[in-house]
Structure 1
Amino acid sequence: MTESASTSKMHAQGPTGLLDGFSLEMTGRDIPELERAAPLIPAGTQINVTFLATENLDLRVAAARAVLSAGAVPVPHIAARRISSAEELDCTLAALQEAGAAQRVFVVGGDPSRPMGAYSSSRDVIESDLLAKHHVQQVSIAGYPEGHPDIDRDTLWRELEAKSALLKKQGLRGEIITQFGFDEKPIIEWVHEVRERGISTPIRIGVPGPAGVKRLVGFARRFGISANASIVKKYGFSLGNLMGTAGPDRLISALERDIDSRQLGEVRLHFYTFGGVETTAKWISSFRG
């Protein structure tokens, strides 16, 4: 074992326990991978099911059922600006409820610059009475440590504060899942600011699972994530060589070192499975030793 790997494992078992209760992400097309990865995924692990424009409700519900069959907990995404009407949202939640997968959802704005229907933001969905109607108990919302390419920082903070307060008022358990990044510095600063603003909502820090460097850089550019030469070198790969693969060893070790749950409350990790659910599950199992 290399010194780097040994250090990574030492931090992974550190006092903050960021890897305890980690969560994963999958698409509807990842069901075969999930089935292969199931033996490596601890029972009760949250697995987010994305809301892609190329996948329909039946596929999302099938993915949620597969998560349940794997002994995990499905967290379906609800993309506000992709919902055409209150009727569609009602039908979506009803289908998830029938599958036993509506207790926890992740409500996001979604990619379209213009809403396809009545919901222009995640707050619009949360303010509706449909989550309560379908017995949703936990709602995850998005956080952006490095900002959002289309939303100014003041608005991001205002919305995060408002949604966290709204969930608490409605008696719903809230959770913040952040966009992924390569650099621990803005992530750690952002977590501290969340707590300084009086937001006690549990946080899941988004990290990219192991994947091809070219793929990671492509996703970073798409989502406005900093990926300049110095940052990616710090993370563990080079922009001059896009043919290899990279994992979040260094990033997780740095986060474990600098985030203290005794001061910052509940903070865990959420893995974006850019390299595949099975590959990510194997990597986590190996990293945890």
Structure 2
Amino acid sequence: MTTPQEVAGPRSGLAALVRNISYEVMPFKGTEQAVVEAVPISVPLTVTATEAKGLDATLGLAERLLARGYRVAPHLPARQFVDRAQVSDVLDRLTAAGADSVFVIGGDAPRPAGTFPDAHSLLQVMAEIGHPFAEVGISGYPEGHGSIPRPVVDEALRRKAPLATRVITQICFDAATTRDWASGVGLPVAVGMPGPVGRQKLVRISAGVGLGRSARFLQKQQGLLRRFLLPGSYDPTRLARRLGAVAPGTNLRGLHIFTFNELAGTERWRQRLLDSLAEAR
């Protein structure tokens, strides 16, 4: 027989994760207005960076959202930085804008623009300069990276961790896999997961980042993979609840939602989740 304490454990675990939720947004035309219309300033944001858009698009959107009262962590892609002077200039720019959080990544450029081949090299220079950020995020891959061997990814995380304050994971649809992986990470972990996005888009993204076990996990779930291929949006509630069930007593400290700029739908989903937790209490 299930006791009230056993029921409350997963519920309290989910509540703790939802209290520490953040959204990832992409610096496209209209993103700023979409954020202002849909997202409360209490929800922290990260702003992505791509080679196609360039670093200035990321920094510009981050500055505008900071000016509107949001807490914003811009992605800083190491491979887009040319030299130490540019790093110093960007740190000064973000400091002037009031940023206290960044997310440092290697970046998707096939070749470095300058002297920073990976996130660790950028983190080192940021530390030498004396960056002002209270929070420095780095990426983590519970199922490995789609194009980098697992031992290389694991070693990179080991080297980056002393220069960071938290880890944001790549998408993983298996809560137990995420929990087990996080147990070997000596930092708080925000679990990256998709928001309510079109299923077919999500399948394309998942294939692109090389999700191995997650694809097999989906295939085992009585037609779940088939439902992913139907029209409509993916509902992340089940995954969030599974993460809540495994989170107590671990270093899983929050959810980081990849919104794909579906901001109004993501915020409606968050509010429904909050309402369901309030009703359960």
Shorter-normalised TM range: 0.7 to 0.9
| Runs of 4+, deviation exceeding 6 Å | none
Letter in 1 for 2:17: L
2:165 aligned residue: 174
- What is the alpha-carbon distance in structure 2 between the residues aligned to residue 264 and residue 138 of structure 1? 20
State the shift of 1:210 in Å.
0.5
Structure 2 Cα separation of the partners of residues 54 and 235 of structure 1: 39
Shift of 1:136: 2.5
Q: 1:121 aligns with which of 112, 118, 122?
A: 118
Q: Determine if contact 2:27/2:48 at 8 Å carries over to the other structure.
A: yes
For residues 12 and 61 of structure 2, the distance between their equivalents in structure 1, rounded to whole angstroms, comes to 31
- Tell me, in whole angstroms, the C-alpha distance in 1 between the residues paired with 2:262 and 2:192: 15
Q: In 2, Cα distance between the equivalents of 1:142 and 1:161?
A: 11
Which consecutive residues of structure 1, in runs of 5 or more, have no partner in the other structure?
1-8, 168-172
CA distance 1:180–1:130, shift in 2 (3 Å): same
Q: Residue by residue, what CA displacement relative to the aligned partner does 1:174-222 show, whole Å, maximum 9, x if unpaired?
A: 110000122223212212233xxxx1x1110001000101110111111
Tell me the TM-score normalized by structure 2. Answer: 0.84
Counterpart contact for 1:25–1:49, Cα < 8 Å: yes
1:20 aligned onto 2:8: no
Q: Which runs of 5+ in 2 are unaligned?
A: 1-7, 276-281
CA drift of 1:61 comes to: 3.1
State yes or no: 1:53 paired with 2:51. Answer: yes
State which of 229, 248, 264 in structure 2 corresponds to 1:278.
Answer: 264
Is the CA contact 1:81–1:114 (under 8 Å) kept in the aligned structure 2? yes
1:115 maps to a residue whose letter is P
2:199·2:231 contact (CA, 8 Å) conserved in 1? yes
Of 194, 215, 219, the residue aligned with 1:228 is: 215
Equivalent residue letter for 1:162: R
* Secondary structure at 1:211 match in 2: coil
After TM superposition, list the pairs within 5 Å mapping 1:209-288 onto structure 2.
209-226=195-212, 228=215, 230-231=217-218, 234=221, 237-239=224-226, 241-260=229-248, 263-265=249-251, 267-274=253-260, 276-288=262-274
How many residue pairs were aligned? Answer: 265
Q: Contact 1:235/1:251 (CA < 8 Å) preserved in 2?
A: no
Stretch moving more, 125-134 or 136-145: 125-134
SS, match of residue 72 in structure 2:
strand
Superposed, which structure 2 residues align to 1:23-102 within 5 Å? 23-29=22-28, 30-38=31-39, 41=40, 43=42, 45-101=43-99
The one-letter amino acid paired with 1:21 is N
In the other structure, the counterpart of 2:144 is 147
Q: 1:225 to 1:266 in 2, by over 3 A?
A: closer
Q: Deviations over 1:141-193 (max 9, x none)?
A: 1100010122222222222222212x2xxxxx611000012222321221223
Could you tell me how far apart the structure 2 residues matched to 1:15 and 1:49 are?
Answer: 25
- Checking the alignment, whether the CA contact within 8 Å between 1:213 and 1:243 is kept in structure 2 is yes
Letter in 1 for 2:93: A
Measured against aligned partners, the alpha-carbon deviations of 1:214-238 in whole angstroms (never above 9, x if no partner) come to 1101111111124537516749843
Q: What's the CA shift string for 1:92-124, capped at 9, x where partnerless?
A: 2222222222x2110001112321211001000
1: CA distance, partners of 2:79 / 2:222: 33
Do 1:47 and 1:67's aligned partners in 2 also have CA atoms closer than 8 Å?
Answer: no
Q: Which residue of 1 aligns with 2:101?
A: 104
Query: Do the aligned partners of 1:232 and 1:238 also contact (CA within 8 Å) in 2?
Result: yes
| SS of residue in 1 equivalent to 2:178 | helix
Give the C-alpha shift of residue 60 in structure 1: 2.3
**C-alpha RMSD of the superposition:** 2.7
TM-score (norm 1): 0.81
Q: Is the 8 A contact 1:81 1:121 kept in 2?
A: yes
How far, CA to CA, are the matches of 1:108 and 1:87 in structure 2?
19
* Contact 1:57 1:92 survives alignment (8 Å): no
Report the residue type matching 1:238 in the other structure.
L
User: 1:78 touches 1:107 (CA, 8 Å); kept in 2?
Assistant: yes
